[in-house]
Amino acid sequence: MESKTIELIKPINIDDQEVKVVTLDFEKVNGYSLLEIDRNLKSRGSNFSVYSLEAQIAVAAKAASMKPEDFEKFSGPDFLELAGQAAIFLLNMGSVNQEN
């Protein structure tokens, strides 16, 4: 799976650096990181679900090498675009090996 670069509608500042684009590299997301996300969500009383914004953002943050908390700073449309890309990744994971 190739990386996907999202140009933000509204750039933000993270650690005194302006962020105009976010590159999602889902190759960085592996079984270990998904289990880690699941454990973190459970420790906060949430469950991992493809349809959970919290889970989607955690996966997107891992793919972008960012902190999930940074995603809270994005505008609504940017936040939802990034979450949507993670949802597409999660929904398509099972079908990747079935194509062959």
Q: Quickly count: other Cβ atoms within 10 Å of residue 80's Cβ.
A: 14
> Is the pLDDT at 96 greater than 60, yes or no?
no
Domain of residue 47: give its range: 4-93
**Which tokens go with 57?**
């953002």
Total domain count, the chain: 1
Sequence-ordered list of residues with C-beta below 8 angstroms from that of 39, at least 6 positions apart, any chain:
none
Judge whether 65 lies within some domain: yes
Report pLDDT for 19.
97
Per-residue pLDDT tens over the stretch 30-79: 999 999 999 999 999 988 888 899 999 999 999 999 999 999 999 999 99
Judge whether 99 lies within some domain: no
pLDDT-derived band at 95, boundaries 50, 70, 90: low
pLDDT above 70 covers what percent of the chain? 92
- Mean per-residue pLDDT of the chain: 91
pTM beyond 0.75: the answer is: yes
Nearest alpha-carbon partner for 56 in 22, 90, 10: 90
Judge whether 100 lies within some domain: no
Judge whether 98 lies within some domain: no
